[in-house]
Amino acid sequence: MLHEFEKLPGLVKDHVHCDIVAAPYPDRLQDVLPTSLMHEAQQEIAQWHGYEPTPLHSLVALAGELDLSAIYYKDEGLRFGLGSFKALGGAFAVIKQLQEVIESRTGNRVSMESIRKGEHADLCGQITVASATAGNHGRSLAWGAQRAGCPCKIYIHAGVGDARKEAMEAFGAEVIRVAGDYDASVYHAAAEADKNGWFIVSDTSYPGYLERPRDIMAGYTVMVREVLDALEPDNLPTHVFLQTGCGGLAAGFAGGLWLETGADLPRIVVVEPTEAPCLLLSARNHAATAYQIEVESMMVGLSCGEVSILAWDILEPCSSDYITITDDGIPPAMRLLASGAPGGIPIVGGESGVAGLAALIDAARRQDLRTGLGLSENSRVLLIGSEGATSPDIYQEIVGHAAA
């Protein structure tokens, strides 16, 4: 099953371990990601048309091959037909943004349900949301904006493929391509929003910009609820591998899980591309640390050099390990899932979606990392398959056939 991996040199290039003090979700994190907001997001999103929990696959054969007790793979490729977990974040934050603006303009606090159902389309039509994106966040934003009836402007950089652009346009967004890298698209989105009175709905936080990224992380906790509902209490994971761009996914998931499991929080392992190791550097420096990206990883969603400061507030006290991986393991991991061999049915995983899987395959087979990450035949590892074939053309090129 792992023949493609036999030929590869070690995929994991760097590992930083941090000692974590087991403790319940700290009160001080209520200011970062409050329990009430997590519950609000979970209740709201469960009402959305088409909502259903995404599958949690048990990769039994692969777990046996890697001498682990279990590997769970949560397939976010099936989330709301949008192809990634991001559907849970941006679309929720759009509703929160509209609720806030409508209240400030009319004095009335309208319900999220009424916004979602398009009942305030006249007001929403005058509120423009905007963001930079590598693709998945923008798709979520465009989808949420279309439902509420508000205009949406999305800024992408040169490296974002046409398929991703078209997917956002299909939800009615105006997509503007700018020269330069992701940071350039962030800059343009912010400058245009400032000039035109638009509202930035970004998934990354920075000093002075916290509310929408907080909403987005709260939206991601829906995945936690679903995982806990799907597993028997005796089978909860001992480890969670979470791939990161700015850290929102990892922090939302780890934060939500921490709230639920308290001092029994599984070991949180953050996975990044070697080309964008901002969280690993932050762990090494004990402070949020940016990294100047020089080469774009094929894990496009993870190619991010700036740490979301809210995410870091959550990850620092709860993530024990930070590792970086090269791109080399990504195509083999996508093909492995597509073969159906790991769990008995084929699974569609995109380039960023399989990062945790690629990292685990390497880590479980290298004695130094196996020991360093505390992996053993008793370990149950949860992976978040954060996207499906969000770039169908690239998926087909790598896997050899179109995504089913």
Ligand X SMILES: Cc1ncc(COP(=O)(O)O)c(C=O)c1O
Residue of 44, 75, 321, 387 interacting with ligand X (CB under 6 A): 387
Query: What share of residues in the chain are helix, strand, coil (percent, to 5)?
Result: 50, 15, 35
What gap in Å lies between CA 86 and CA 89, rounded to an integer?
5
> Coil, strand or helix: which one is 323?
strand
| Closer of 115 and 145 to ligand X (Cβ) | 145
Smallest separation, CB 301 to ligand X (Å): 2
| Closer of 128 and 140 to ligand X (Cβ) | 140
- Applying the rule CB under 6 A, the residues between 290 and 309 that interact with ligand X are 301-302, 304
- Applying the rule CB under 6 A, the residues between 116 and 155 that interact with ligand X are 134, 136-137
- Nearest residue to ligand X, scored by beta-carbon proximity: 301
Smallest separation, CB 368 to ligand X (Å): 26
How many Cα atoms sit within 13 Å of 43 on the Cβ side? 9
Encoding tokens for residue 304? 């991010």
What gap in Å lies between CA 194 and CA 33, rounded to an integer?
27
Phi, psi of 19 (to 5 degrees): -75, 130
Residue of 248, 256, 277, 342 interacting with ligand X (CB under 6 A): 248
Look at the block and give the residue holding tokens 């370990």: 379
Which residue stretch of 17-25, 50-58, 109-117, 245-253 sits at the interface with ligand X (rule: CB under 6 A)? 245-253
237 close to 71: Cβ distance less than 8 angstroms: no
> Coil, strand or helix: which one is 183?
helix
Q: Does 245 bind ligand X (CB under 6 A)?
A: yes
- The side-by-side arrangement of strands in the sheet containing 380-385 is 12-17, 319-325, 267-273, 239-243, 380-385, 70-75, 56-58
Smallest separation, CB 108 to ligand X (Å): 32
| Closer of 203 and 313 to ligand X (Cβ) | 203
| Closer of 137 and 153 to ligand X (Cβ) | 137
| Closer of 67 and 162 to ligand X (Cβ) | 162
**Structure letter (DSSP) for residue 388:** S
- The side-by-side arrangement of strands in the sheet containing 199-200 is 174-178, 152-157, 129-132, 199-200
Smallest separation, CB 315 to ligand X (Å): 10
> Coil, strand or helix: which one is 44?
helix
294 close to 201: Cβ distance less than 8 angstroms: no
| Closer of 301 and 342 to ligand X (Cβ) | 301
Q: Does 353 bind ligand X (CB under 6 A)?
A: yes
What gap in Å lies between CA 164 and CA 320, rounded to an integer?
34
Cα R_g (the chain), whole angstroms: 20
What residues are paired with 273 via a beta bridge? 325
| Closer of 59 and 389 to ligand X (Cβ) | 389
What is the total count of residues that contact ligand X (CB under 6 A)?
21
What gap in Å lies between CA 99 and CA 116, rounded to an integer?
10
Residue of 58, 131, 221, 244 interacting with ligand X (CB under 6 A): 244
CA angle 122, 128, 130 (to 5 degrees): 155
Smallest separation, CB 43 to ligand X (Å): 22
- Applying the rule CB under 6 A, the residues between 258 and 277 that interact with ligand X are none
- Applying the rule CB under 6 A, the residues between 65 and 104 that interact with ligand X are 84, 86
Which residue stretch of 179-187, 243-251, 373-381, 394-402 sits at the interface with ligand X (rule: CB under 6 A)? 243-251
Q: Does 214 bind ligand X (CB under 6 A)?
A: no
Which residue stretch of 108-116, 157-165, 242-250, 336-344 sits at the interface with ligand X (rule: CB under 6 A)? 242-250
Phi, psi of 96 (to 5 degrees): -65, -40
Smallest separation, CB 395 to ligand X (Å): 12
Residue of 58, 202, 274, 352 interacting with ligand X (CB under 6 A): 352
Residue ranges binding ligand X (CB under 6 A): 84, 86, 134, 136-137, 203, 243-250, 301-302, 304, 352-353, 386-387
